[in-house]
Chains A and B, each alone.
Chain A
Amino acid sequence: MLSTAALLANTPPQLLPARELMAFTLASHILLVPFGVALPFITVLMHHRALRRDDPVALKLARRWSAVMAVQFAIGVVTGTVLSFELGLLWPGMMGRWGDVFGLGFGVEAWAFFLEAVLIAIYLYGWRRLKPWTHFWLAVPLPAAALMGAFGIIAANSWMNTPQGFGLDAQGNPVDVDVRQAVFTPMFGPEYWHFVVAMFMTAGYVVAGVYAVGLLRGRRDRYHRLGFTLPFTVAAILTPVQFMLGDSAARAVFHKQPVKFAATEIVWKTDTHVPEYMFGRLNSDGTISGGLRIPQLDSILAGFKPSTQVTGLTSVPAADRPTAVQATIAHWAFDIMVTIGSLLILLALWYAWSWLRHRDLPRSRWFFRCAAIAGAACLVTVECGWITTEVGRQPWIVYHHMRVSEAVTATRAGSLWAMLGIVMAVYVAVFGAFLAIVLTMRTRWRIADEGSAAARAALPPETDTPYGPRSEPEPAAAGAAPGGGADGRSGGAS
Chain B
Amino acid sequence: MMAGLIAWVMVLAIAAYACAGGTDYGAGFWDLLAGGAEWGRRPRWLIDHAMAPVWETNNVWLIFVFVIMWTGFPRMFQAVFEAMWLPLALAAVGLVLRGAGFALRKPSRRLAQRRVFGAMFAIASLLTPFFLGAVLGGIAAGRVAVGTDASADAWANPASVLTGLLAIAATAFLGAVFLCSDARRFGADDLVDYFRLRALLAFCAVVVLALIGLPVTHHHARYVWEGLTGGPGLLLIVLAAVCGLATVLLLLRRSYGWSRYTSVASVALTVGAWGFAQRPYVLPTSLTVAQAAGAAHTLRWLGIVTAIAVVLVGPALVLLYRLDTMGELEPLTDADTRAARAPGDNL
Contacts and interface: CB of A to CB of B under 8 A. Distances in A.
Interface string A110-122: 1101110111111
Contact of B82 (A92, A97, A130, A434): A92
Contacts of A474: 335
Contacts of B97: 426, 430
B62 A477 contact: no
B77 A95 contact: yes
Interface in A100-155: 100-101, 103-104, 106-111, 113-115, 117-122, 124-130
Contacts of A471: 335
A45 interface: no
Nearest to B305: A107
A423 B332 contact: no
A474 B336 CA distance: 11
Interface string A435-453: 0010011011101110110
Given A88-B81, A122-B319, A488-B186, A79 B330 contact: no
Interface stretch (B88-96, B168-176, B192-200, B210-218): B88-96
B340 A491 contact: no
A56 to B, nearest CB: 10
A435 B49 CA distance: 23
A357 B89 CA distance: 57
A108 B298 CA distance: 13
A423 B89 CA distance: 10
A130 B56 CA distance: 20
B88 to A, nearest CB: 6
Given A101-B298, A113-B63, A482-B347, A70 B309 contact: no
B124 to A, nearest CB: 10
Contact of B63 (A95, A110, A490): A110
B251 to A, nearest CB: 22
A423 B90 CA distance: 10
Contact of A118 (B57, B302, B327, B334): B57
B319 to A, nearest CB: 7
A124 B332 CA distance: 8
**From A89, A111, A130, A437, residue with most partner B Cβ within 10 Å:** A111
Contact of A117 (B46, B57, B345): B57
Interface in A359-405: none
Interface of A, secondary structure class, is helix
Contacts of A75: 99-100, 103
A119 B52 CA distance: 14
Contact of A488 (B74, B188, B305, B323): B188
B227 to A, nearest CB: 26
Interface stretch (A171-179, A260-268, A285-293, A321-329): A171-179
Contacts of B56: 73-74, 77, 117, 120-121
Contacts of A111: 64, 305, 308-309, 312-313
B187 interface: yes
A85 B168 CA distance: 21
B316 interface: yes
Interface in B75-92: 75, 77-82, 85-86, 88-89, 91-92
Given A71-B106, A106-B71, 9 more contacts: A63-B332, A67-B332, A75-B100, A77-B99, A104-B301, A110-B63, A117-B57, A125-B331, A479-B345
Interface of B: 41-42, 44-46, 48-49, 52-54, 56-57, 59-60, 62-64, 66-68, 70-72, 74-75, 77-82, 85-86, 88-89, 91-93, 95-100, 102-104, 106-109, 113, 117, 149-150, 186-188, 294-295, 297-299, 301-302, 305-306, 308-309, 312-313, 316-317, 319-320, 323, 327-343, 345, 347
Interchain residue pairs A-B with the least CB separation, the first 8: A100-B294, A96-B78, A99-B74, A88-B81, A492-B45, A103-B71, A74-B103, A479-B341
